[in-house]
Amino acid sequence: MSLFGKIDFNQLSDVDRTIYQYFADHTEKIGYMRIREIANESHTSASSVMRFIRKMGFSSFVEFKANFKNEPRTELEFFQTGQQLLAAENFPNNLSQHLQEVAQFIYEAENVVFFGMGASGSLCDYAARKMATIGYNSFALTDPTYPIAQKLRNTVNNVIIVLSVTGTTTELLETINGFKNRDDYTTVAICANENSLLAQLADHTLSYHVDIRHADRFNDLTSQIPALFLVESLVAEVEKLNN
């Protein structure tokens, strides 16, 4: 039986999930680490790690490590991370309603702009291509200095969708703030923090929960799977309106 199969992910606390994710991402070395090393690298505490190990059914850290060294990773475990990222509790209960509302604005739009930077910017290219495929004048904006307001001058019913994990990137905030309360623009935030300034500035927000991960502080390793799911869902809703 898989080690991870001994617990119910839906019953885990946020700290438990962080430890769970660390175990899943570092299976090759967990069996050779000390409990304090695991705590430090997962940004939790040794007591939290030990409590989680007991939830997995082990009475001691020694017993856990011995089993972990001998436990082969099953095929199912390779898919569990994706399932966790797309778990229903990581999205608002009224997500379907929000998607339908935003889809209606896109359906009536003259232009659809996906705006983001870094990893979110890469996702913008994909999102714009998908929207263009179903017949919309859509493009990706990844340069915050691009004169987007001038490009869209004399156009109406524009939708600007800003993708940002944290919702705190200054360049994105400055740009979207420039379109606030303008009749010809509807702004949408896709971000992991529904209370962020970006979410507050946007007319509509499609939010999700994801664990923020960085390597060497500045290198972003946060998964874009939840944001991609929202993009795909939004495209599907717009496509329904077209049919």
Using one digit for the tens of pLDDT, what is the confidence trace for 54-85? 888 888 888 887 776 665 555 555 566 677 78
pTM of the complete model:
0.69
Select from 53, 16, 54 the least CA-distant residue to 31: 53
Residue 205: CB atoms within 10 Å: 23
Q: Point out the least confidently predicted range of 86-90, 124-128, 130-134, 168-172.
A: 86-90
Instruction: Round to whole Å and give the CA distance between 95 and 46.
Output: 36
Report how far residue 55's alpha carbon sits from residue 3's, in angstroms, rounded to the nearest whole number. Answer: 11
- What are the structure tokens assigned to 158, written together? 């524009």
pLDDT digits over 29-52, tens only?
A: 887 888 999 999 999 999 999 998
User: Measured on CA atoms in the order 194, 195, 196, 198, is the torsion positive or negative?
Assistant: positive
173/199 Cα distance (integer angstroms): 10
| pLDDT band per the 50, 70, 90 thresholds, residue 20 | confident
Query: What does the pLDDT read at residue 141?
Result: 95
**pLDDT (tens digit per residue) in 209-229:** 988 877 766 677 888 999 999
Q: What is the pLDDT of residue 1?
A: 37
Condensed to tens digits (0 to 9), the pLDDT of residues 97-122 reads 999 999 999 999 999 999 999 999 99
Residue type at 113? V
Share above pLDDT 90 across residues of the chain, in percent, rounded to a whole number:
54
Yes or no: say if 152 and 179 are a contact pair by the CB < 8 Å rule: no
